[in-house]
Amino acid sequence: MRLAIKLAIRNLIGAGLRTWLNVIVLSFSFVVIIWIKGVMAGWDHQAKKDMSDFEIGSGQYWHSGYDPYDPFSLLDNHAPVPEGFRAGVAEGSIEPELIVQGTLYPGGRLQSVIIRGIDPDQKILKIPTGKLDAATDAIPAVIGSIMAKNLKASAGDRIMLRWRDAHGTFDATDIVIEGIFSSNVPSAEAGQIYIPLERLRKMMSMPGEATLFTFSSSFSPETAPEGWVLRTRKELTSSIDEMIKMKSTGQSILYGVLLLLAMLAIFDTQVLSIFRRQKEIGTYIALGYTRHQVVGLFTVEGTMYAVLAAILSAAYGLPFLTWQARAGWSIPIDTSEFGIAMAKTLYPVYSAGLVVTTVLAVMIVTAVVSYWPSRRIAKMSPTDALRGKLQ
Amino acid sequence: MKRLLYLILLAAYPGPPCFPQPDPAEILKKVENNISSENRVFESTMIIHGARTSRTMTSRTYSVGDKQAFTEYLSPARDLGTKMLKLNNQLWIYSPSSDRTIEISGNMLRQSVMGSDLSYEDMMDDRKLTEIYNSRLTGTETVDNRKVYVLELTANVPDVAYYSRKIWVDAERFVPLKEELFAKSGQLLKRMTMSDVKYIDGRWFPESAIYKDILKQGGGTEFRITVIKFNQKIPDYIFSKAALKQ
């Protein structure tokens, strides 16, 4: 094996430019695959963190009838704070939210919104709810940047809000935008306004009621009380997993094209080597090599392209990937309308597992592609090969 | 002595003549007598004035009291054949394009009717105003050169859409000429203006009305009755779900 590697290196270096072209193409594949996979891992990490920070905390308890995709059912699905949550609510490890439907009239336009009542003193979510503790004749409200863009509103603006209370009676008054936050989580921003919980309970004639509870990492989730359903962080972020999985499947086509180009070059080189080096093959067999050992020699030689490519990738890829991890990749289009948690700048995250599996996968594919044309050697007649007769 | 006599006379003077104020509940009852009927058949045009464009649709409606109503849309071509049936507190809509009948219930009743300023719920609430509101006569005004009584209505039951209303009622013909609907906070939400009051089959009836959602842009929804007949013979099958698909 050691001899085979020694011979392979000598032959590869001897081949000159042809070897380096193969190695450069393959190294490019290495870097691009690791970078894209890193971006995906970074997106996954950032999206889940942002969701936890701005929407779901460490998990939630939902009212059993709560369906975030059916705003018409919101008025029917709320209940008083269960006895088991009262201590957690008092110490701030679990926060109630009351969610109802309303209509905003920015400049005479009509826009349906979800009104979320939240405690101004809550510490679980990074929404600037402290700004809701404002002295104003209107209802103090905090909105996300996506919502502000849709409403064409800025801090200090007053907008008419209309809603219906628990009995279905219309009520309307102004809200004043006390703060605008940016979260990268469209579901926490688009079509949502945040107002003080107690104010909303009073507006709706729903004292002590909640639609869901968000808990912090210090809260130990137990079996949900009757009428409530526990939603773990894993369940609540499953949409991100599905999105990443779908994107990764799409990107594997790109990996396939990159690898195909590299493998085509290696395959061609191997076929040419076997054709041009028949005398050498005959000599090996005359010296006592079995046919399979010669096949192994050529396979190792082919696989060495991947090894050299990995070394070359490390030379220019490491600085590039490190710089990307720090500077991030800014998406050249507006992602706020995508409806998925996605920052404008994604910071790739590379794990040892990601790098090792990518390198191993490329090496295995290269070995297979190198072995494939080398099988012809096993069918060669050694005497004809020694004479240099074309076979 | 002369001064004392003057004071006694002044104390005994009953003041200017005091005419009895009409009872607001009585006014509302007279209004209901004009507006409600045992049954009626009418054709109407609804013009929805949006922020940029207007849409016009025509329909024919059969109704019996406040409990049963059947409406068939006659134009535009897009809405031709769409039918609505109201039986007590239930409402169904038949769409010819999908050949399906859908029951409008629960929160769906709060949606707008064919994109107008009216909600299904506005159409569906058949309770008499005197049953769900306390009324108060606040004075008289002039609307369209006619003397009107101004009534303020405040809800006396919790489940009403509009907590208070203000109605301007023609003092001679007992027809509402204007109505404003308010939120609990006192914010004006909708305004209705009635006109073209005609004497038809022994009653005064406004043939045109404009409904305007005050908070929304646009010119509101105009409703014009082109033909109306009271106390007609309406076959019972009209008020059945089977009639929707015919």
DSSP string, A198-224: HHHHHHHT-TTEESEEEE-TTS---SP
Q: Does B132 touch chain A (CB under 8 A)?
A: no
pLDDT score for B17: 44
| Residue B86 belongs to a domain | yes
B183 to A110: CB separation less than 8 angstroms, yes or no: no
B158 to A167: CB separation less than 8 angstroms, yes or no: yes
- pTM, two decimals, is 0.77
Q: What are the pLDDT digits (tens) for A370-381?
A: 887 777 776 777
Which tokens belong to A360?
């191993």
- The chain A residues in contact with chain B (CB within 8 A) are 72-73, 75, 105, 107-110, 160, 162, 164-165, 167-173
The 10 Å CB-count burial string (b at 16+, else e) for B141-177 is: eebeeeebbbbbbebeeeebbbbbbbbbbbeebbbbb
More confident residue, B133 or A266: B133
Domain count, chain A: 2
| Residue of chain A whose alpha carbon sits nearest to that of B109 | A72
Residues A210 and A66 placed together within one structural domain of the fold = yes
Chain A CB contacts of B221 under 8 Å are none
Residues A253 and A357 placed together within one structural domain of the fold = yes
List C-alpha distances in Å: B97 to B59, B77, B80, B81. 17, 11, 10, 9
pLDDT score for A174: 95
For the domain that residue B45 is a member of, what is the CATH number?
2.50.20.10
Q: What are the pLDDT digits (tens) for A115-125?
A: 999 999 999 99
Distance CA B67, CA B87 (A): 6
Residues A181 and A86 placed together within one structural domain of the fold = yes
Chain B CB contacts of A171 under 8 Å are 163, 183-185, 187
Q: Is the pLDDT of residue A245 over 90?
A: no
Q: What are the pLDDT digits (tens) for A29-45?
A: 889 888 988 888 888 88
Q: Which of B158, B183, B217 sits opposite A170 (nearest CB)?
A: B183
Q: Is the pLDDT of residue B2 over 70?
A: no
Domain count, chain B: 1
Domain ranges, residue A174: 59-220
| Residue B5 belongs to a domain | no
Tell me which H or E stretch contains B46.
strand B39-49
Q: Is the pLDDT of residue A14 over 70?
A: yes
Contact A197, A54 (CB under 8 A): no
| Residue B234 belongs to a domain | yes
Q: What are the pLDDT digits (tens) for B36-86?
A: 888 889 999 999 988 788 899 999 999 888 788 899 999 999 889 999 998
The mean of the pLDDT values for chain B is 86
B183 to A171: CB separation less than 8 angstroms, yes or no: yes
Confidence tier at A72 by pLDDT (50, 70, 90) = confident
Three-class SS state of B219: coil
Residues A165 and A73 placed together within one structural domain of the fold = yes
The mean of the pLDDT values for chain A is 86
B106 to A173: CB separation less than 8 angstroms, yes or no: no
Mean pLDDT of A90-107: 93
Contact A38, A327 (CB under 8 A): no
List C-alpha distances in Å: A367 to A8, A305, A307, B194. 13, 9, 11, 87
Contact A185, A46 (CB under 8 A): no
pLDDT score for A269: 77
Q: What are the pLDDT digits (tens) for B4-17?
A: 444 444 444 444 44
Give the residue from A192, A220, A248 where a domain finishes: A220
Residue A163's beta-bridge partner residues? A102, A171
Mean pLDDT of A344-368: 85
Distance CA B173, CA B163 (A): 27
| Residue B150 belongs to a domain | yes
Confidence tier at A17 by pLDDT (50, 70, 90) = confident
Mean pLDDT of B208-228: 91
| Residue A336 belongs to a domain | yes
Nearest to A77 by CA among A228, A213, A211, A214: A211
Q: How many CB atoms lie within 10 A of CB B234?
A: 16
Residues A80 and A149 placed together within one structural domain of the fold = yes
With 0-12 CB in 10 A as exposed, 13-18 as middle and 19+ as buried, what is A111?
A: middle
Domain ranges, residue B146: 23-244
Distance CA A12, CA B71 (A): 86
Distance CA A57, CA A54 (A): 7
